Structure 1
Amino acid sequence: MQHEFYDMLMESQYWLPETMVAYQRSQLAQLLRHARANVPFYERRLDPVFTPSGDIDWDRWEEIPIVRRSDMVEHRDAMQARLLPRGHGPVGIIETSGSTGLPIRITISTIATYSAAALRWRGHRWQNLDWSKTTLSRLGDGDHALAWPEGENKGPWGLPGDSAAANGTLWSISRLFDTPDVMRFYKQFGASYLNAGPNMAHINALDVQRLGIDVRIEAILAQGNVIRQADRDICREVFGARMVEIYSAKEGGPIANPCPLDRLHVNSEGCLVEILDADGRPCAVGETGRVIVTPFYQTAQPLIRYEQGDWATVGAPCSCGRHHQVIDAIRGRSIAIFHHPDGRSVANLMPDETSSLLASRYWQLAQVGANAYELRYVPTDTESPGNEAAVRALFHQTFFADADLTFVRSAAIPLTSGGKLVEYLSEWRRPDR
C-alpha cells in the first residue's frame, strides 16, 4: 500500500490544478461521510456542507467550524471513530509536548502512517537525498528513547524495495545527549544526514564551533520549529550543511516539503491546507495568515479544519513544474500562549534582532506569573550581558506594556521532555484552566 501510494505521488506531483482539486474533493467527501456517520463530535458539525439529498456543497466549506487545540483536550472521547473504513486500522496513540500549556493525545490510523511515509519519501526524492547513506536522528522516539545508551539501529529509512535504500541505515539516539556525544555518534555511525530540530541544530553548530570539533554534515533534515535564516547560516558555516525544511506536525501529519528549488509545496494529496486572515477569509499571495489543515487519511480521530497553530505566508506558483499550493514561509505560532490578567491574549513573536541585541546563542521567553515574564538567555560572552534595556523595550512593544520582565543569564536552557528547545513557554497556570 505504501509503495502504491508513493508511485501515485510521483505521478500526481505534475497533475494540473483542476485534477488535484478533483482528487482532494474525492478524499474529503469520503472523510466527511465517515466522520458524520462514525464520530460523535462531527454528527452535527458538518451539517452546513451536506445538502438534503446527501450531496456536498463545496461552496459552504468555510461554514464548517474550525477545530481548536482545546477541542482535542475537552472532546477527545467524542472525536474517536466508532468504526474505521476497511484497511485503515489498527490504530496507535501519539502525544504532543505541552509547551503551549495544552499537551494532547492523537489517535492515528495505520493508513495515515503509511501515507505519511510515502509523502516523506517523495520529499526525499525532491531534495535528492541518498537512501543508501546513514542518517542520525536525535529527535527521539517515545519515552524509551532514553534507554538507548549506544543508539538504536532502526534499519533502512528509504522506500522499501529500492535497491539503494536497502543499504541505508537510520540510527536513533537519546534526545538528551549533548553536542559532543551527538557528534561522536555521528562520526561513529558514518552518517551523512542529521535529523534534528532547527533550534537544536543551531545550538549544536555553536557548540561545535566553540569546542573546535571537526565534523561535516551533508544535510540537516529539520522539523518541529520555525527555521530562521540564522539557523541556515550557522549550520552551513560550521557543518557545511544545507538545511532541508520539513513542515510537519503530529496532529496534521506531513504538511509540506521543499521541491528541488527549495520552495515549500503543500502535500496536496495528503491534506487540504487553508491559510486564513483574521476574518477567516483565504489569504492572497504574499499575505500571512493562520494555517488550517485537514488530513485526508486521519480517520481514527478526524481533524476537519484543524487550526494547526502556525502563521504562514501564501506563495506564488513555483517554476519547478509542480502545481501544488506553495507556502513562502512559516512565520511562527498563531495560537496565543501569553495571557494578560485583563483577558487579552497574544501570539506575537519577538523581533528578529533579539538574538543580536542579547549577544546570545539562544534564548527563551517564559510567562511565570499573571503578568510576569522571564527572558532566559545564553550569552556569547558570559562576562558581558546583552543590551537588556533595548530588548525590554521590544518586549513591551510586542506583548504587554505593563508586564514585568526579568532577565536570567545562564550557561544552558533545559530542553522539554520531548527534547526540544522552546523559545516561547507558558509556566503559569491560568485560573480558568
Structure 2
Amino acid sequence: MFSIFDLSLQLNAFPIRKAKSDLDKIVALSPSEKKQFIENQKQAIVEFHLENNAFYQKLVGSKDYKNWEDLPILNKTNLQCPLESRLSKGFTTKNSYINKTSGSSGEPFIFAKDKYAHALTWASNMYRFGWFGIDFNRSLQARFYGIPLDFIGYKKERFKDFLSKRFRFPIFDLSDAVLEKMLKKFQNTKFEYLNGYTSSIVLFAKFLRKRNLILTAICPTLKVCMVTSEILFKDDRKLLETQFGIPIVNEYGASELDLIAFENPKGEWQINSETLFVEILDENNQVLPYGQEGRIVITSLFNKAHPFIRYDIGDIGILDERSTLEKPILKQLIGRTNDIAILPSGKKSPGLTFYYVTKSIIENDGNVKEFVIKQTKIDSFEIEYVSETELDLTQIQKIEEAIELYLEPNLHFTFIRKNTLERTARGKLKQFTSFL
C-alpha cells in the first residue's frame, strides 16, 4: 500500500517501489554474492560512462581502461563547469533530479542523478532509518535544518516537509526565546525522532540542561535522534543522550551521493555498500589498508545521469580494521581536507584539533554556547564565541596553554564575543576555517 511520502516520489517519476524492491535484494545477498555484485556494478557504471558521457571520456582520456586503480580521481574542481556538459547521453535537466551541493567545502556545484538513482537514495535512507523503527510514511520528524528565506523557496520547502511528515525548526536564530517555542512544540506534538545539524541539536540540548529538563519526559513518543553534517564530539553525544533520553545516531552523507555511513544499532558506523563503493587513498592516490587515515574517495554505483566515479569528496577518514568489502565500517571521520591549519613551524594540523582543545576548556562551566575558530595568519587565530558572560583572563590563559601543549608555542589568539555565529546559507556551522 502506498503512503503519502512514497506516493509523492512516485508522482514525481522517481520509481520508489522498484528501488525498494531492488535494494531489498542487494541487502539479502550473501557476503560472497555481495562482493561479486560490487565488482560487477563498478565495472558496469564505468563502462556506461565511458560509452555515454563525453565529460568522463575526456577525464579518463580514452574509452578503455584496464585496472580500476588507473581510473582518474574526480574532484570538485573538475565539476565546476556547466552541468549540461557533464550529463550522459539521453539525460537532460528536465528528465533528471537536479540539485546543488551545500558548498560547506568551499566549492559548491550543481549535480544530477537519474530518477532511478535518486529513488534508490530514498530507499537506502528508508532502509537505514528503519533499523530504529522509523517509517518515513508514518513517523513524524522534528527537523533542525536551514530553510530558504525567499518566499517561493520557503513555501516549497514547507510543502516538501508536509509530504515527508516533518516539522522544520529553522535554525538561523537559536536564542532562548526561540528554543522556548521549540520546547512548547515538543510538548504538544507526537514527534518520533529528531534529525538535523549537530550544532543546532546540541544547542537545544544545552538549553534543556539549563532548564533541568529531559526531552522524553516532555515528548514520550520520541524514539531516536539522528545528527548529521557536522562532527559529533564525544561530550556532545553524552549530553544529547542525557538530555533527550533516547539513542543518538551519527549520520554521514552527501547530497550528490547518498547516505555514506550510518550508525547501526550495534554502534558501528556502517558504510553504505549497497549504492556506494568507498576507498581511502593516500596523497599519491594509492589505496590505503584498513586502519590508516586518508582521503575519502567514493563511487556512486548506480547514477547514470552524471559520473561520480572515484570522487574525492574532500573529507579525511579511516576505515575500521574489522571492515570487509561487503561491510565496511567507518572508524573515524577526521574532517575536510581544506580544514587544515598550517603552523609557523611547518606543522600541519587538522583545524578540529583547536576545536577539541578549546572545547574541553570552554565547555566546563556551560557559559559558552558555541564557538568557531578562524585562522587569519600563519600564527594568528580568531575565536568567535556566543556566551552569557565574557571569557575572563584565566579562561583565556588556560586555552592558550592547552593549545601550546597540543600544538606549538607562540600562536596568537583574539577572542571575539558575538550574539550569534555566522552559518552557511543552509544553516551549517563551519567549526574551523583557514583564510591562508
- Output the TM-score relative to the length of structure 2: 0.80
Query: Take 2:342 and 2:283, find their aligned partners in 1: how far apart are those partners?
Result: 19
Q: What runs of 5+ residues in structure 1 fail to find an aligned partner?
A: 52-56, 158-168
Match of 1:23, SS?
Answer: helix
1:108–1:298 CA contact under 8 A, matched in 2: yes
Number of aligned pairs? 406
Question: How much has 1:20 moved relative to structure 2?
Answer: 1.8
Per the alignment, do residues 11 and 414 of structure 1 end up closer, same or farther by CA in structure 2, a change over 3 Å counting? same
SS of the aligned residue for 1:378 comes to strand
Q: State the 1:70 CA deviation.
A: 1.9
Assess if the C-alpha contact under 8 Å between 1:89 and 1:111 holds in 2: no
Question: What is the aligned counterpart of 1:137 among 140, 143, 167?
Answer: 143
Whether the aligned pair in 2 keeps the contact of 1:311 and 1:333 (CA below 8 Å) is yes
Structure showing the higher helix proportion among its residues: 2
Residue in structure 1 matched with residue 42 of structure 2 by the alignment = 28
More deviation in 215-224 or 402-411?
402-411
Check the 8 A contact 1:152/1:172 in 2, yes or no: no
Residue 325 (1) aligns with residue 325 (2): no
When residues 317 and 399 of structure 1 are mapped into structure 2, their CA distance, relative to the original with a 3 A threshold, is: closer
Q: CA deviation at 1:400?
A: 8.6
Q: CA deviation at 1:416?
A: 2.0
CA RMSD after TM alignment: 3.6
2:312 is equivalent to residue 307 of structure 1? yes
SS at match of 2:353: coil
Q: Within the alignment, does 1:200 sit opposite 2:200 as a pair?
A: yes
Q: Is the 8 A contact 1:199 1:421 kept in 2?
A: yes
| Equivalent pair of 1:365/1:423 in contact (CA under 8 Å) | yes
* Alpha-carbon separation, structure 2, partners of 1:396 and 1:109: 51
* Amino acid in the other structure paired with 2:332: A
**Conserved in 2, the CA contact under 8 Å of 1:13 and 1:324?**
no
Task: Specify the SS of the correspondent of 1:15.
Answer: coil
Partners of 2:148 and 2:154 within 8 A in 1: no
In structure 2, distance between residues paired with 1:108 and 1:385: 53
**2:352 matched residue in structure 1:** 349
* Distance change >3 Å, CA 34–CA 49, structure 1 → 2: closer
Secondary structure of the corresponding residue to residue 387 of structure 1: helix
Displacement after TM superposition at 1:223 (Å): 1.2
Q: Which amino acid aligns with 1:136?
A: A
Deviations 1:191-232 (A, max 9, x none): 121111112111111122224566325321111112221221
Q: Describe the shift of the 1:106–1:183 C-alpha distance in structure 2 as closer, same or farther (beyond 3 A).
A: farther
1:170 aligns with 2:166: yes
* Contact 1:355–1:361, Cα closer than 8 Å, also in 2: no
* 2:48 matches 1:40: no
274, 282, 292: which one pairs with 1:277?
A: 282
Q: Deviations over 1:6-57 (max 9, x none)?
A: 2333343343333223222332233223322333321143358935xxxxx3
Q: Percent identity?
A: 19
Whether the 8 Å contact between 2:74 and 2:312 is mirrored in structure 1 is yes
Q: Write the distance in 2 (CA, Å) between the matches of 1:148 and 1:139.
A: 15
1:61 aligns with 2:65: no
Q: Kindly indicate whether the alpha-carbon contact (under 8 Å) linking 2:73 and 2:312 is maintained by their aligned counterparts in 1.
A: yes
Matches within 5 A, 1:173-322: 173-178=169-174, 179-211=179-211, 215-216=215-216, 217-317=222-322
| Superposition deviation, residue 182 in structure 1 | 3.0
Per the normalisation by structure 1, the TM-score is 0.80
Q: State the 1:238 CA deviation.
A: 1.2
Compared with structure 1, are the counterparts of its residues 265 and 311 closer, same or farther at alpha carbon in structure 2 (3 Å cutoff)? same
2:130 corresponds to 1:116: no
